[in-house]
């Protein structure tokens, strides 16, 4: 075969590709092929083994292997002589990536990128690894090629065995048509996350530590998980994983304290954490979470926003071969950048520790900016309000960003991925609703319209676009995330065109990708050159595609679109075994399960009762014995809940962990409150949810004694901001979504 590497141009056939990752390898002395018939035809005709390398443009160890091995002339010659070499961008072809990542995990019990895997000429895997140093890579290639020449049957037998196992675990077995995942799995998963929770630093398990936004969103279903959510979100906000100067969140932290990040920034992380922080603000009203949503949105606008209104994929971890070099500082650089007053504030705010960063010959010493304490604690220690503290922080960070922008910046992956943009549009729409922010809504709408205009054509939806060129039919997560985005836009704007588009895409997703086994294929089952068409994966950095599809169809079902009931219930039934065995592996699917139970419960109610929140069957009033008090006089508060006949709410300490307790949260904007809340005992009932459940029904009074402390000096008026959170169930054991009623009571203070 003629080597396709052109001595005149210095480029191989990848120069004709559009993927930033493939283009990074266009000048290698390797006769690379893209995934497709041309490569497989050569492998068959020459009876050569295939070397398959899968990575992505912002992958640090992919860069290292490219520099050490694929740019090396002697290594390239060996690769060309002995193998057909295929390069795949996992973000363009997640279907190929998933298959061979699963194969790699079968062979080695671990995974990661780059995937370096060897295949028979018919694409069956028999040996795999991740990063391989150059010397070991040469030795491995020689050994495998010699084995192929001397004993091909051994390789073929290994490949056949691995492929059979791969096909078995990636395809759905026949679902148990009678089983259905119970609602108690919500509580079981919460307990599992609590067992793995790092109480000191937040997050789960040890190092490396990932933000896991799907887990945080799931935990926000239950008030009892507040500590885990807040501790984690606060730690991310103050840690080195947060780019304090430029905004946005890095991929993960290599340590359990979130101090040293892996520096790449991915769009899907920004989208999901934006949604999580906005949700957490709605849940807690903590102003830090509003600050973090604004921080992430500003980063999206400054670094990832395309001229169409859509968003680029990622920024690299390294600059000029040095990981994190753009983001780090020396103490001297920081001192020279700030004036004396700014430095005094900066030194009290940030932990300034120079540490060894990077790898081998590309290591260096630098400071990764991270706060010494949580934002609130720092503001208090500096005797500043939160807003004044944040404004001072922003002023200094803006100055540092101006200097940082003069450095060489990390490489940008400028391809536009449909699913990642779907997540981003949904998050922006949700944040715009939480904060009543029309500018954010405009961003979301513009992106939604651009996605509709540019990522369709002769197909209902495409997966990726770069420089105006679209490629590859949409995968399952592309459809599902865009459906969720359009539902969110419809909810905020009330424009029916978004709902109509969501319905069109849902129907197309079912037509293109639905499997008789009761779940979705990830890619069209007619796609060529795939060893298997997998249907299931766990929630990870992104929710699994079937979890996303379940959530999308459940949301449509919640609007009255009963035609999706079969598909929603089939997905849940086909995943029941896995959910029962390890519910914490699918937190996003459990969120969909939770939504389903709310909707399914409403099916047997009257039309006027359908899709109700718990607050719709409970009337709440609050009053003070006296609303004019002496400065240190306690307040006597009474909260009265009148519960609709046939319904009850849980007590403050329900006997089942998956049930929401009735809780009261009281704050004042002008100080602190020392509270003593007296929750009455409930009465016991037997229900399908459990025996001897403690509940409240009819009318219940909750009394509280409140002492206002640390009030603003000289204040004569303040208010109580009261949130009453409860979950209503009817006498048949059907439970509605937990509701929150907010009440504001004025308080006058005698001078």
pLDDT digits (tens, 9 = 90+) for 398-420: 999 999 999 999 999 999 999 99
**pLDDT tens profile 565-620:** 999 999 999 999 899 999 999 999 999 998 888 776 443 333 443 345 677 788 88
Report the mean per-residue pLDDT for the chain: 90
List, as one string, the DSSP characters of 192-219. Answer: HHHHHB-TTT-SBSSSSB---HHHHHHH
The pLDDT score that the predictor gives to residue 459 is: 87
Asked, for residue 332, whether it belongs to a domain, the answer is: yes
The pLDDT score that the predictor gives to residue 1 is: 45
Dihedral pair phi/psi, residue 142, rounded to 5°: -60, -45
The pLDDT score that the predictor gives to residue 611 is: 43
The pLDDT score that the predictor gives to residue 733 is: 63
The dihedral region occupied by 234, where left means phi > 0, alpha psi between -120 and 50, and beta the remainder, is: alpha
* 424 in the same domain as 358: no
The pLDDT score that the predictor gives to residue 709 is: 81
Dihedral pair phi/psi, residue 365, rounded to 5°: -105, 135
Cβ atoms of residues 414 and 466 within 8 Å: yes
3-state secondary structure of 468: coil
Q: Compute the 3-state secondary structure of the chain and give helix, strand, coil in percent, each to the nearest 5.
A: 45, 20, 35
Residue 657 has pLDDT above 80, yes or no: no
CATH number at 496 reads 1.50.10.10
Beta strands 462-466 and 469-473 are antiparallel
The pLDDT score that the predictor gives to residue 9 is: 52
CATH number at 111 reads 3.40.30.10
* 745 in the same domain as 706: yes
* 313 in the same domain as 327: no
* 326 in the same domain as 312: no
Mean pLDDT throughout 724-739?
75
Asked if the peptide bond before residue 747 counts as cis, ω within 30 degrees of 0, the response is no
Asked, for residue 1, whether it belongs to a domain, the answer is: no
Distance of CA 270 to the CA centre of its chain: 8
Spatial separation of the C-alpha atoms in residues 82 and 98, rounded to whole Å:
26
- Tell me the two tokens of residue 405: 């922008």
Asked, for residue 598, whether it belongs to a domain, the answer is: yes
Spatial separation of the C-alpha atoms in residues 424 and 444, rounded to whole Å:
8
pLDDT band at 2 (very low <50, low <70, confident <90, very high): very low
pLDDT band at 632 (very low <50, low <70, confident <90, very high): confident
Mean pLDDT throughout 459-488?
97
Asked, for residue 8, whether it belongs to a domain, the answer is: no
Asked, for residue 5, whether it belongs to a domain, the answer is: no
Spatial separation of the C-alpha atoms in residues 726 and 617, rounded to whole Å:
11
Asked, for residue 6, whether it belongs to a domain, the answer is: no
- Tell me the two tokens of residue 62: 């992919």
Cβ atoms of residues 258 and 235 within 8 Å: yes
Mean pLDDT throughout 198-210?
94
Residue 49 has pLDDT above 50, yes or no: yes
**pLDDT tens profile 303-322:** 999 999 999 999 999 888 88
pLDDT band at 730 (very low <50, low <70, confident <90, very high): confident
The pLDDT score that the predictor gives to residue 451 is: 98
Spatial separation of the C-alpha atoms in residues 336 and 401, rounded to whole Å:
14
* 264 in the same domain as 160: no
* 575 in the same domain as 550: yes
The dihedral region occupied by 426, where left means phi > 0, alpha psi between -120 and 50, and beta the remainder, is: alpha
* 458 in the same domain as 529: yes
Residue 51 has pLDDT above 50, yes or no: yes
The pLDDT score that the predictor gives to residue 6 is: 46
Kindly tell me the sign of the dihedral angle through the C-alpha atoms of 410, 419, 230, 294.
Answer: positive
Degrees to nearest 5, angle at CA 203 with 536 and 540 = 15
* 497 in the same domain as 455: yes
* 465 in the same domain as 384: no
- Tell me the two tokens of residue 581: 């065995």
Last residue of a domain, one of 542, 575, 602: 602
For the chain, what is the largest distance between any 2 Cα atoms, rounded to a whole number of angstroms? 97
Asked, for residue 4, whether it belongs to a domain, the answer is: no
Last residue of a domain, one of 394, 409, 424: 409
* 583 in the same domain as 626: no
Residue 262 has pLDDT above 90, yes or no: yes
The pLDDT score that the predictor gives to residue 232 is: 98
Residue 254 has pLDDT above 90, yes or no: yes
Asked, for residue 275, whether it belongs to a domain, the answer is: yes
**pLDDT tens profile 676-704:** 899 998 888 876 555 677 889 899 999 99
The pLDDT score that the predictor gives to residue 37 is: 95
* 489 in the same domain as 456: yes
CATH number at 627 reads 2.60.40.1250
Cβ atoms of residues 556 and 483 within 8 Å: yes
Q: Angle of helix 496-513 relative to helix 545-558, nearest 10 degrees?
A: 130
- Tell me the two tokens of residue 543: 């929710």
Spatial separation of the C-alpha atoms in residues 53 and 249, rounded to whole Å:
28
pLDDT band at 658 (very low <50, low <70, confident <90, very high): low
For 23, the domain range is: 13-170
* 417 in the same domain as 344: no
Domain count along the chain: 4
* pTM for the model: 0.81
Last residue of a domain, one of 391, 409, 427: 409
Q: How buried is 482 (Cβ within 10 angstroms: 0-12 exposed, 13-18 middle, 19+ buried)?
A: buried
Dihedral pair phi/psi, residue 465, rounded to 5°: -140, 140
Mean pLDDT throughout 707-712?
80
Spatial separation of the C-alpha atoms in residues 743 and 751, rounded to whole Å:
26
């Amino acid at each position: 075969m003629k080597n396709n590497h052109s001595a005149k141009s210095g480029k191989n056939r990848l120069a004709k590709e559009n993927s930033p990752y493939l283009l990074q390898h266009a000048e290698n002395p390797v006769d690379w092929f893209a995934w497709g018939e041309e490569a497989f035809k050569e492998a068959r005709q020459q009876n050569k083994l295939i070397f398959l390398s899968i990575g992505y443009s912002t992958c640090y160890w992919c860069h290292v292997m490219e520099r050490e091995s694929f740019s090396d002339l002697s290594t390239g010659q060996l690769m060309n002589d002995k193998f057909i070499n295929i390069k795949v961008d996992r973000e363009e072809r997640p279907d190929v990536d998933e298959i061979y990542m699963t194969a790699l995990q079968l062979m080695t019990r671990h995974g990661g990128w780059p995937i370096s895997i060897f295949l028979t000429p018919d694409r069956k895997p028999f040996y795999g690894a991740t990063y391989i140093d150059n010397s070991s890579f040469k030795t491995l290639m020689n050994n495998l090629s010699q084995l192929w020449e001397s004993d091909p049957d051994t390789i073929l037998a290994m490949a056949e065995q691995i492929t059979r196992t791969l096909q078995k675990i990636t395809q759905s077995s026949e679902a148990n048509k009678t089983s259905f995942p119970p609602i108690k799995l919500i509580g079981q998963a919460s307990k599992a996350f609590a067992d793995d929770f790092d109480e000191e630093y937040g997050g789960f398990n040890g190092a490396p530590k990932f933000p896991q936004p799907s887990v945080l969103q799931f935990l926000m279903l239950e008030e009892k998980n507040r500590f885990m959510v807040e501790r984690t979100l606060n730690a991310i906000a103050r840690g080195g994983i947060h780019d304090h100067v430029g905004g946005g969140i890095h991929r993960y932290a290599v340590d359990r304290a979130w101090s040293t990040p892996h520096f790449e920034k991915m769009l899907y992380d920004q989208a999901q954490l934006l949604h999580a922080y906005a949700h957490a603000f709605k849940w807690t009203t903590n102003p830090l979470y509003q600050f973090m949503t604004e921080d992430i949105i500003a980063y999206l606008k400054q670094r990832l926003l395309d001229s169409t209104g859509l968003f680029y994929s990622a920024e690299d971890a390294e600059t000029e071969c040095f990981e994190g070099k753009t983001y780090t500082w020396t103490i001297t650089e920081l001192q020279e950048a700030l004036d004396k007053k700014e430095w005094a504030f900066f030194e009290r705010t940030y932990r300034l520790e120079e540490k060894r960063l990077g790898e081998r010959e590309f290591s260096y010493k630098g400071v990764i900016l991270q706060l010494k304490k949580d934002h609130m604690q720092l503001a208090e220690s500096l005797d500043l309000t939160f807003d004044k503290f944040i404004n001072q922080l922003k002023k200094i960070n803006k100055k540092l960003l101006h200097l940082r922008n003069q450095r060489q910046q990390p490489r940008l992956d400028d391809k536009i991925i449909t699913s990642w943009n779907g997540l981003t549009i949904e998050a922006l729409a949700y944040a715009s609703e939480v904060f009543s922010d029309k500018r954010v809504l405009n961003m979301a709408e513009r992106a939604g319209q651009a996605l509709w205009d540019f990522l369709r054509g002769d197909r209902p939806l495409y997966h990726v676009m770069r420089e105006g060129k679209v490629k590859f039919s949409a995968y399952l997560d592309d459809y599902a995330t865009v459906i969720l985005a359009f539902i969110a836009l419809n909810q905020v704007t009330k424009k029916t065109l978004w709902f109509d588009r969501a319905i069109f895409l849902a129907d197309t997703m079912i037509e293109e990708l639905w499997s008789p086994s009761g779940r979705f294929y990830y890619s069209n089952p007619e796609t060529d050159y795939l060893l298997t068409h997998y249907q299931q994966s766990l929630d990870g950095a992104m929710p699994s595609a079937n979890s996303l599809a379940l959530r999308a169809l459940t949301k449509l079902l919640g609007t009255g679109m009963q035609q999706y009931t079969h598909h929603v219930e089939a997905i849940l039934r086909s995943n029941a075994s896995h959910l029962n065995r390890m519910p914490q592996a699918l937190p996003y699917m459990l969120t969909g399960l939770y939504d389903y139970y709310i909707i399914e419960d409403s099916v047997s109610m009257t039309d006027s009762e359908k899709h109700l929140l718990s607050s719709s069957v409970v009337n709440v009033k609050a009053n003070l014995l006296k609303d004019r008090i002496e400065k240190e006089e306690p307040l006597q508060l009474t909260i009265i809940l009148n519960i609709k006949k046939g319904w009850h709410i849980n007590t403050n300490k329900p006997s089942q962990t998956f049930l929401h307790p009735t809780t009261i949260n009281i704050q004042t904007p002008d100080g602190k409150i020392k509270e003593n809340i007296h929750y009455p005992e409930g009465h016991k009932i037997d229900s399908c949810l459990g025996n001897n459940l403690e509940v409240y029904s009819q009318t219940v009074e909750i009394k509280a004694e409140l002492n206002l402390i640390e009030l603003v000096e000289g204040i004569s008026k303040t208010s109580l901001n009261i949130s009453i959170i409860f979950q209503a169930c009817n006498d048949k054991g059907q439970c509605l979504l937990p509701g929150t009623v907010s009440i504001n009571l004025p308080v006058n203070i005698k001078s």
